[in-house]
Structure 1
Amino acid sequence: MPSRKLNQELTRQSRYRTPKRAAQNRLVWLGNSRHSCLFSSVLQMKLTIEKEIWSFLLMGLGKIDRASVVETIKEDFQRSYFVTGNLTLDAYEKDCEFADPAGSFRGLSRFKRNCTNFGYLVEKSNMKLMKWEDFENKGIAHWRFSCVMSFPWKPILSATGYTEYYFDEQSGKVSRHVEHWNVPKMALLKQILRPSRVSMN
């Protein structure tokens, strides 16, 4: 019967093909296994290197250069970071202390948020770094600030002052940011309440 002969022929062919296919499948499996092992080795090496880098930093050997931090602060002044909140976060400790005549608190994210919120009240601002002084454990930035508030009577707020930047001994980042305003609080309040018809120069 044709169907019986066909089945016998298919069975005979499969006997010869099966070992070859099995060998091919095994080669494919071995190839995939080698690629998997290679990928795992590379991934493990990457994780090991990252771990070593973090250990390097945590040991204090990866201290940030003071000159780099100072240069970053000067660049932040050009962006009026007091008003915009546009400051380089990597230059500060996350739990950095921020202080001014009104009080103090800790937390980099809170400082950034406060600066940004103040910026919403400002229509136009001008902030200049007048002088920078280096000391053993800190730097002092002398600045001049003026802005037009976005109130209907457009008051002009102007002041001079200086900010102390204390650097952490281990990380090299700023751990304390202390503002000093050369204008009394009552004088600032009077400026805010005084209407202005002239735009800030």
Structure 2
Amino acid sequence: MDPRPYFLTGAMDVALYDEQCEFADPFVAFRGRDRFVANLENLAGGFITESSTRTLSSEIERGDAAAGVPPSYKTKLLVKLRLGLPWSPVLAWPWGVEHVFDPATGLVVRHLESWDVSPQEGIRQLVSPGAGRKVK
């Protein structure tokens, strides 16, 4: 099994996700596991040409059924990516994912991504030439 994160390989354990799971990041939100799988396949198809990831933290929230708070799992990674665009931009920032589970089925019903960077900084990195910048 490839040890790299799902957003680099395009491979995810589909059976862990509800078919109508909500997927959201700072720029877009949608429902549907199949659409997320298709998006991952596009990323892994060469859009990311070089990468480096390091785990910063992870935590389990057990939830509180009586209070209506579902269980979740949160991870935070330091991610550096070189994109396969003509100017080879390098994106680098802490990136988090929260997986929220349905207590009845055990399936992920919300996949929420967060980036510890302002939208302006993210766009600046996206449009800046990355030649000569190290990723690893």
TM-score norm. by structure 1 comes to 0.58
Unaligned runs of 5+ in 1: 1-74
Pairing of 1:1-201 with structure 2 (within 5 A): 78-119=3-44, 120-135=46-61, 136=63, 137-198=71-132, 199-201=134-136
Q: Is the 8 A contact 1:132 1:141 kept in 2?
A: yes
Q: Is the 8 A contact 1:80 1:126 kept in 2?
A: no
Q: Is the 8 A contact 1:155 1:194 kept in 2?
A: yes
1:133-162 CA distance string (max 9 Å, x none) = 111211111112111111222111111121
Counterpart residue type for residue 190 of structure 1: R
Shift of residue 116, structure 1, vs aligned partner: 1.9
Q: Is the 8 A contact 1:83 1:116 kept in 2?
A: no
Q: Which runs of 4+ in 1 moved over 3 A?
A: none
Counterpart residue type for residue 131 of structure 2: R
Looking at secondary structure, tell me which structure has more helix per residue: 1
Count matched residues.
126
Q: Is the 8 A contact 1:121 1:151 kept in 2?
A: yes
1:114-148 CA distance string (max 9 Å, x none) = 12213332111223332211112111111121111
Shift of residue 110, structure 1, vs aligned partner: 0.5
- Quote the RMSD (CA, aligned, Å): 1.8
TM-score norm. by structure 2 comes to 0.83
Q: Percent identity?
A: 30
Q: Give me the whole-angstrom Cα distance separating, in 2, the residues matched to 1:151 and 1:94.
A: 32
Q: Give me the whole-angstrom Cα distance separating, in 1, the residues matched to 2:78 and 2:14.
A: 23
Which of the pair has the greater relative contact order for Cα pairs under 8 Å at 6+ separation? 2
Shift of residue 79, structure 1, vs aligned partner: 2.5
Looking at secondary structure, tell me which structure has more strand per residue: 2
Find the structure with the greater CA-based Rg.
Answer: 1
